[in-house]
Structure 1
Amino acid sequence: MMMILGLFPFMRSTTPYQSLEQQVTWRHVKNDRVGKFARYQYIGPGDDKVTLSGELYPEITGGDMSLTMLNAMAATGKAWPLIEGTGRIYGMYVITGINETRSLFFEDGKARHIAFSVSLERVNEDLREMLGQMGDIGSAVSNITDKVSSAAGGILDSAKDAATDALGSLKGLMN
């Protein structure tokens, strides 16, 4: 496992990212002075943003279901713990955006290649606050599981119908 966001693991079989960009800022207020250079006062930490970017080849790596799961997590509006495979705890992050670029299509329109980026923004101040929010994650996970399984059911039904049609066509050709 490369990293985990909530209960979603980033790994080869789901969404392996090829780059991780973290941008951390600190806030300073400018105080202008007459006849002198301005002074700056540190007022605390600013934004902490993480962007995970990568490419999926659905025949080898994760694909639609992995991205559907991330979209469902984003739709909850909940903050999720972000933990690296090495054990480094980044903190609680919300998903602020998911970009997908699909290319190299099969004849049925399914993409052979999906480039993605997931934008995250930190929302907690410290680990004590993060641990206090962990109780809300259980209910959000069961909600996401329901959404993903209903999406998977639709995909499986479509695949079953396509297979039945293909078998019917083959039988027609053999007769």
Structure 2
Amino acid sequence: MLYQLGPLTLDTFPFSADGVEREIEADFARHDVMNRRRPHEFEGAGDETLDISGSILPFHTGGLSHLDLAQSLCEDGRELFVMRGDGRVLGWYVLKKVGERHRDIGPGGVGFVVGHRLGLERAEDPGEAAGAGLVATLLSLFG
């Protein structure tokens, strides 16, 4: 496993990840003061984004069903527990956008190579209600 996004697993195949970008921001307020630069007043954590890209080979290894799952998770709008393959917990995110790019179009309009992009944004911990779903997701990794 490379990444786990709720029920969606990104691995070397059929649904892979070959690029990841993560940005973390902090929020600051700035106030005018006399004879000094405007100081930065720390207000807390700002936006955090995670962008994952990869490619699938639908005619060789499959992966379109995983792309469909990503799209339905995006449309659903629920918070997803995100974990990296080395076991590092990244926290809760919402899947804000899913992009796909078909190249070398084959029969039925599907590309022989389909690039995908998943755009996630950090969310607050949804609380105890999400615990049962999280446990089920983690147990499915060992099943």
Distance in structure 1 (CA, Å) of the matches to 2:107 and 2:40 = 60
Distance in structure 2 (CA, Å) of the matches to 1:17 and 1:116 = 9
Q: Which amino acid aligns with 2:63?
A: G
Q: Which amino acid aligns with 1:115?
A: G
Distance in structure 1 (CA, Å) of the matches to 2:104 and 2:122 = 34
Q: Does 1:134 align with 2:121?
A: no
SS at match of 2:87: coil
SS at match of 1:108: helix
2:10 paired residue number: 10
Q: Which structure shows the bigger proportion of residues in strand conformation?
A: 2
1:145 paired residue number: none
Q: Which amino acid aligns with 1:101?
A: R
Q: Which structure shows the bigger proportion of residues in helix conformation?
A: 1
Distance in structure 2 (CA, Å) of the matches to 1:62 and 1:6 = 20
1:51 paired residue number: 51
> Closer, same or farther in 2 for the Cα pair 1:62/1:121, shift >3 Å?
farther
- Residue 117 of structure 1: CA displacement? 0.5
- 1:32-71 matches, within 5 Å, as 32-71=32-71
Figure out how many residues of one structure are paired with residues of the other and give that number: 135
RMSD (CA atoms): 2.0
> Closer, same or farther in 2 for the Cα pair 1:50/1:62, shift >3 Å?
farther
- Residue 110 of structure 1: CA displacement? 2.1
- Residue 61 of structure 1: CA displacement? 3.5
1:21 paired residue number: 21
SS at match of 1:113: strand
Q: Which has the higher contact order (CA 8 A, sep 6+)?
A: 2
Distance in structure 1 (CA, Å) of the matches to 2:93 and 2:132 = 14
| Contact 1:91 1:130 survives alignment (8 Å) | no
Distance in structure 2 (CA, Å) of the matches to 1:95 and 1:3 = 14
| Contact 1:95 1:120 survives alignment (8 Å) | yes
| Contact 1:15 1:56 survives alignment (8 Å) | yes
| TM-score, length of structure 1 as denominator length | 0.70
> Closer, same or farther in 2 for the Cα pair 1:131/1:14, shift >3 Å?
farther
Distance in structure 2 (CA, Å) of the matches to 1:102 and 1:45 = 37
| Contact 2:79 2:126 survives alignment (8 Å) | no
Q: List gaps (5 residues or longer) in structure 1.
A: 142-175
Q: Deviations over 1:61-88 (max 9, x none)?
A: 4432111011111111100100111110
SS at match of 2:32: strand
Q: Deviations over 1:101-146 (max 9, x none)?
A: 111011432210111100001102xxxx4562424748xx9xxxxx
